[in-house]
Amino acid sequence: MAIYDFDRCIDRHGTQCKKIEVLKQDYGRDDLLPLWIADMDFAVCPEITEALVRRLADHPVYGYTCLYDGYWQSIIDWQRERNGFEFTREEVTFVAGIVTGFGLAVNFFTKPGDKIVIQQPVYYPFKDVIDGNGRITINNALIQTEGNFYRMDLEGLERIMEQEKPRMMVVCNPHNPAGIAWQPEVLREVARMAYKHGVIVFSDEIFGDLMLFGHKHTAMATVSDEAAAVTVTCGAPSKTFNIAGLKSSWCVVKNPELREPFFKWIEINELCNANLVSIIATEAAYRNGKQWLEECLHYIEGNVDYVEQYCHEHIPGVVAIKPEAGFLVWLDCTGLGLSHDEVVSLFRDKAGLAMNEGSMFGEAGKCHMRFNMGSPRCVLEQAMHQLEAAVKSLGK
């Protein structure tokens, strides 16, 4: 029996909510339906709130905080039980976010001018971090398949590793924006090449607990000994349990030759000092959030099915690409026959929707929009009606 209410609409105005507060600045209007940045509009599981209230309200001293055994064990147990990803306390450290963790890895393992491979269309901050730190982004673009999905260009990757000699590559695992669950054999092949060519693999597994429609997450570091030797994994309870504002993530490195100097540098610079709220919420989520998560995933699947079906039936020209993981839907709008700028304007100015425009994720994202499913169904229904009316007003 379902316990949690994901249909409840929660007003997030006045709560420092980025999704709403920066609408005017980023979209030029603040009256749009906010369906962009990847957090959800659902209440977190009550066990998280209760743990936070208990600590913050019942004890009035918020001094320096230490990362305690129960916190570490909750991460270790969760990953072992849910994803078969095993690691010890020594092999994991705290980082304040996944992008933060990526920035640390880039700065520690590479030098200015080094090349780092990403696979677009992909979560845009990877490129920002690489370029912003004076490294060089190399794109091994994903290949679009017949079924309107994507696969990794393994031949292209091998060529890049041989010719460009990158120092690092990013595996977005599962892959944002299309929500791709990479198969073990693909990851094994990536690891084989990376090991052969001395490339460190940064595996971003932030969406790894949000698998949909029976798909399974494969942690990069588990697929082979070569993978364990080359991979720096970052994951978090942030997307899983909708606590991104608390900035709690973890980083696992199995290979001591990479881990020991990296973790020592992180520690010396106090880059793993967690905030009290983040660790309390993390332990509560991993220990007590399973039922909430299962219900949340079920609700998201319902949202995805609804949007896919609605586009199919009522909005010709817009195809909702069904994700295997995560709560984001990649809308292929190429069938509208508009330019990329016209698509962006259609969604924002005519439909009144704030989604992420696809070219943020790379050239291949043109004429695509990224649509956040982490809202009550009635919000998505409103969005679909607004989009349908906007498309019909084109008179095509």
Ligand X SMILES: Cc1ncc(COP(=O)(O)O)c(C=O)c1O
249 touches ligand X by CB under 6 A:
yes
Under rule CB under 6 A, residue 238 binds ligand X = yes
Instruction: Print burial letters for 164-194: b (CB count within 10 Å at least 16), e (below 16).
Output: eebbbbbbbbbbbbbbbbbeeebbbbbbbbb
Q: Is the peptide bond before 261 cis (omega within 30 degrees of 0)?
A: no
Q: Which is nearer to ligand X, 188 or 247 (CB)?
A: 247
CB of 146 to ligand X, least distance (A): 26
Asked if 119 touches ligand X (CB under 6 A), the answer is no
Residue 236 interacting with ligand X (CB under 6 A): yes
Residue 227 engages ligand X in binding (rule: CB under 6 A): no
Using the contact rule CB under 6 A, the part of the chain among 7-15, 58-66, 98-106, 306-314 near ligand X is 98-106
Q: What CA–CA distance (Å, rounded) separates 175 from 278?
A: 25
Give me the least distance between CB of 240 and ligand X, in Å please. Answer: 11
| Shortest distance (Å) from residue 136 CB to ligand X | 21
Peptide bond into 316 cis (omega under 30): no
Of 373, 379, 6, 378, which is closest to residue 177 (Cα–Cα)? 373
Write down the least CB distance from residue 37 to ligand X, Å.
7
| Contact flag: residue 324 with ligand X (CB under 6 A) | no
Cβ-based nearer residue to ligand X, 37 or 276: 37
Q: CA 215, 221, 225: angle at the middle one, nearest 5?
A: 125
Return the structure tokens found at 254.
């199995």
Please list every residue from 171 through 190 that binds ligand X, using CB under 6 A: 172, 176
State in angstroms the smallest separation of the CB of 97 from ligand X: 3
Helix (H, G, I), strand (E, B) or coil at 290: helix
| Binding span for ligand X by CB under 6 A among 46-54, 94-102, 218-226, 336-344 | 94-102
Region binding ligand X by CB under 6 A among candidate stretches 8-16, 44-52, 95-103, 252-260: 95-103
Contact between 218 and ligand X (CB under 6 A)? no
Contacts with ligand X, 284-323, as mask; x by CB under 6 A: ----------------------------------------
Of the candidate residues 27, 36, 123, 292, the single one contacting ligand X (CB under 6 A): 123
CB of residue 262 to ligand X, shortest distance in Å: 18
CB 87 to ligand X: min, Å: 19
Residue whose CB is less far from ligand X, 125 or 317 = 125
Alpha helices in 133-275, H assignment, sequence order: 154-164, 184-197, 225-230, 256-268
Q: Identify whether the C-beta of residue 232 lies closer than 8 Å to the C-beta of residue 105.
A: yes
| Binding-site member from 20, 23, 35, 38 for ligand X (CB under 6 A) | 38
Q: Which of 41, 204, 209, 283 binds ligand X (CB under 6 A)?
A: 204
Q: Per the structure block, which two tokens stand in for 272?
A: 């793993």
Burial environment of residue 117 by CB neighbours within 10 A (0 to 12, 13 to 18, 19 or more): buried
Question: Which contiguous run of DSSP H or E holds residue 55?
Answer: helix 46-58
Q: What's the CA gap between 263 and 243, in Å, rounded?
A: 25
Number of residues near ligand X (by CB under 6 A): 14
Q: What is the C-alpha separation between 270 and 295, in angstroms, rounded?
A: 37
- To ligand X, the closest distance from the beta carbon of 251 in angstroms equals 11
Tell me which residue of 146, 157, 224, 230 sits closest to 185, measured CA to CA.
224
Residues found near ligand X in the complex (CB under 6 A) = 38, 97-100, 123, 172, 176, 204, 206, 236, 238, 244, 249
